[in-house]
Amino acid sequence: MGERDEEDRPFETTQGRDGGAGGGALTDLTRLHVHEMARLLRTGEVSSRALAEAHLAAAGRQNHALNAWLVIDRKSALAQADAADRRLAESRRPGGSGVAALHPLCGVPVGLKDLVSVKGGQATAGSKILKGYVAPFDSTVTARLRQAGAVILGKTNMDEFAMGSSTEHSAYGPTANPWDLTRVPGGSSGGSAAAVAAFHVPVSIGTDTGGSIRQPASLCGIVGLKPTYGRVSRYGIVAFASSLDQIGPLARDARDAAILLHAVSGRDDRDATSAPVPVPDELLDLPASDDEAASYLKGRRLALPREYFVDGMEPGVAARVREAVAAMEAAGAIIEEVSLPHTDYGLATYYIIAPAEASSNLARYDGVVYGFADRSSGDYIADYLCTRGTGFGPEVKRRIMLGTYALSAGYYDAYYLKAQKVRTLIKADFDAVWAAGFDAICAPTSPTVAFPMGARVEDPVAMYLSDACTLPVNMAGLPGISIPAGLSDGLPVGLQLVGAPWRELGMLRLARAYEAITARATWRDLEPAELHLTDDPTTPSPLERQARRTQGAPATGSGDQP
Ligand code: GLN
């Protein structure tokens, strides 16, 4: 341990100073972490423009085979990168504000899930009904990223209105998993996860209503963090289920996730549910040294809930999670088995509450204000029905019907109200763990590794079960993180850590400690197994694969582009 500390290592690049040609060993800028980029940008060893160019090139070359991006905005990205370079140069100048005052995200490329509003850009939420909609304002997350100096490369693919666990419910075609192009990246933030796993960006923004950051992070072998409900403003984010939705980072390590979380967190007057809880600056200083990071585990009390090793969990997943827990125990953590007895009700109550809130949130898509409209009939009511009939996909319609039913007179008490009461019991299970003095809960993120495209898309309940281990965390409003914990059958397995409310920092320190104690594991430095195929222009697109599977015939064209 200790020798991976990049601060000790001189950086060598073919780009050299300011991204120009230079000597040194071959180093691909897309392999850098945010904390490494920040250091090189500050010293001037690399420019934001060089970083943007390298990442745009990879995304541009490989998106055909992955469909991780719905938009790659080269022109805007390069303008933002040049602005970041000016800001960096200005603060480096003698008498300038000093580079230490800059956020580590200054000059760093990021991706945004396509439900984050960026003024003047699209926000389709993966739906046809928002095709053509142009956001008239920046979301608070966007504004804070701009303030930090981040460089937004584009918008990533997602399940329609964030409903799904595979990104196959996108109206713009599915996304492929770079570990195996015939498999899903998870969802609903599958585009954001695949883009980070494929080195198109070091970090991206996703949203998590029942698992949509953690589950795709798990399936793509990266880090994904769902903050405490109220940590990040939801202003300007297309709503799915307002009492559950949270925005959070996807990254390739805990330090980078912490940096992105720091940039977007904090109270916002435009979102009444955002909490006036201070954002710890220590998020920017997770230990670089593995020895220091690992020492955090000593004496930590970690709870292992027996209900999370659910029926249908793949043995390889359970094995990796138990090995991870054993490794933390060997490093000084105290592991105790606990019971969260209402876990089993998580799925049933989630699928009352989330659709109920969604049915209300989605009522606004009436063909008048937003995006797509079918005005062919000339009659207001008929146009409304046609717009919603063709604008929404089947999963969204299923949720609207479920939710409307659960909220209707006579059923409200039996379903919605009852579900809210069970939600309180689920939260009380977690509260008891914190009251007993545990630092975090350890569990699997997903019961399975990445599954084949098409395997669950016709079976909604099988798809819903993908989130059995993540949904209860949203029901209780808690922070949760998924971190890579090795492979099963050559595919990534995620370890989930859940913390008490507002304890993201402690959760990230634990995640960083786990990274430190597994720094030399053979799986650590593996790149996604089929990433190299994405450079081949003859590799079929996910939409072509889907068409071949469903029709047995090759598809033509690249599908419906927003
Ligand atoms: N898969 C879950 C659903 O479809 C969770 C999605 C999410 O977190 N946005 O509702």
DSSP string, 35-63: HHHHHHHHHTSS-HHHHHHHHHHHHHHHH
**CB distance 474 to ligand 1 below 6 Å:** no
**CB distance 355 to ligand 1 below 6 Å:** no
Cα distances (angstroms) measured from residue 559 to each of 152, 163, 415, 555: 24, 20, 39, 9
Sequence ranges of the domains in the chain: 48-344+423-546
**The pLDDT of residue 371:** 87
Cα distances (angstroms) measured from residue 510 to each of 65, 286, 423: 35, 10, 27
**The pLDDT of residue 237:** 98
Q: Ligand 1, from 116, 127, 165: best to mutate by most atoms within 8 Å of Cβ?
A: 165
**The pLDDT of residue 96:** 82
* CA–CA distance, 548 with 530 (Å, rounded to integer): 20
Picking from 445, 214, 225, 467, the residue whose alpha carbon sits closest to that of residue 317 is 445
Q: Residue 455: how many CB atoms within 10 A of its CB?
A: 15
Determine phi and psi for 180, rounding to 5 degrees: -160, 110
Closest atom of ligand 1 relative to the 354 alpha carbon: 10
Determine which one of 47, 48, 113, 446 is catalytic.
113
Write out the two tokens for 524: 């650590």
Residue 517 and residue 485 in contact, taking contact as beta carbons nearer than 8 Å: no
**CB distance 354 to ligand 1 below 6 Å:** yes
For the chain, 562 residues long, give each residue's pLDDT as a single digit of tens: 333 444 434 344 433 333 333 334 447 999 999 999 999 999 999 999 999 999 999 999 999 999 999 999 999 999 999 999 999 999 999 888 899 999 999 999 999 999 999 999 999 999 999 999 999 999 999 999 999 999 999 999 999 999 999 999 999 999 999 999 999 999 999 999 999 999 999 999 999 999 999 999 999 999 999 999 999 999 999 999 999 999 999 999 999 999 999 999 999 999 999 999 999 999 999 999 999 999 999 999 999 999 999 788 999 999 999 999 999 999 999 999 999 999 999 999 999 999 999 999 999 999 888 889 998 888 989 999 999 999 999 999 999 999 999 999 899 999 999 999 999 999 999 999 999 999 999 999 999 999 999 999 999 999 999 999 999 999 999 999 999 999 999 999 999 999 999 999 999 999 999 999 999 999 998 999 999 999 999 999 999 999 998 886 544 444 455 5
Determine phi and psi for 530, rounding to 5 degrees: -110, 15
166 catalytic, yes or no? no
Q: Which run of H or of E encompasses 498?
A: strand 491-498
Residue 75 has, within 13 A of its CA and on its CB side, a CA count of: 1
The pTM of the full predicted model, rounded to 2 decimals, is: 0.94
Among 3.40.50.2300, 3.90.1300.10, 3.30.360.10, 3.40.140.10, name the CATH number for the domain at 48-344+423-546.
3.90.1300.10
* CA–CA distance, 446 with 429 (Å, rounded to integer): 20
Closest atom of ligand 1 relative to the 207 alpha carbon: 9
* CA–CA distance, 49 with 51 (Å, rounded to integer): 5
Distance 470 CA to ligand 1 centre (A): 9
* CA–CA distance, 433 with 454 (Å, rounded to integer): 38
**CB distance 204 to ligand 1 below 6 Å:** no
* CA–CA distance, 121 with 48 (Å, rounded to integer): 22
Distance 354 CA to ligand 1 centre (A): 9
**The pLDDT of residue 17:** 35
**The pLDDT of residue 159:** 98
Q: Ligand 1, from 209, 242, 245: best to mutate by most atoms within 8 Å of Cβ?
A: 209
Determine phi and psi for 214, rounding to 5 degrees: -70, -45
Distance 130 CA to ligand 1 centre (A): 19
Closest atom of ligand 1 relative to the 208 alpha carbon: 8
Closest atom of ligand 1 relative to the 163 alpha carbon: 4
Q: DSSP labels for 117-183?
A: --TTSB--TT-GGGTT-B-SS--HHHHHHHHHT-EEEEEE--SGGG--SSSTT-TT----BTTBTTB
**CB distance 352 to ligand 1 below 6 Å:** no
Distance 158 CA to ligand 1 centre (A): 11
With b for 16 or more beta-carbon neighbours within 10 A and e for fewer, the 371-408 pattern comes to bbbbeeeeeeeebbebbbeebbbebbeebbebbbebbe
* CA–CA distance, 513 with 251 (Å, rounded to integer): 16
Determine which one of 165, 189, 212, 482 is catalytic.
212
418 catalytic, yes or no? no
**CB distance 471 to ligand 1 below 6 Å:** no
243 catalytic, yes or no? no
**The pLDDT of residue 559:** 45
Closest atom of ligand 1 relative to the 466 alpha carbon: 1
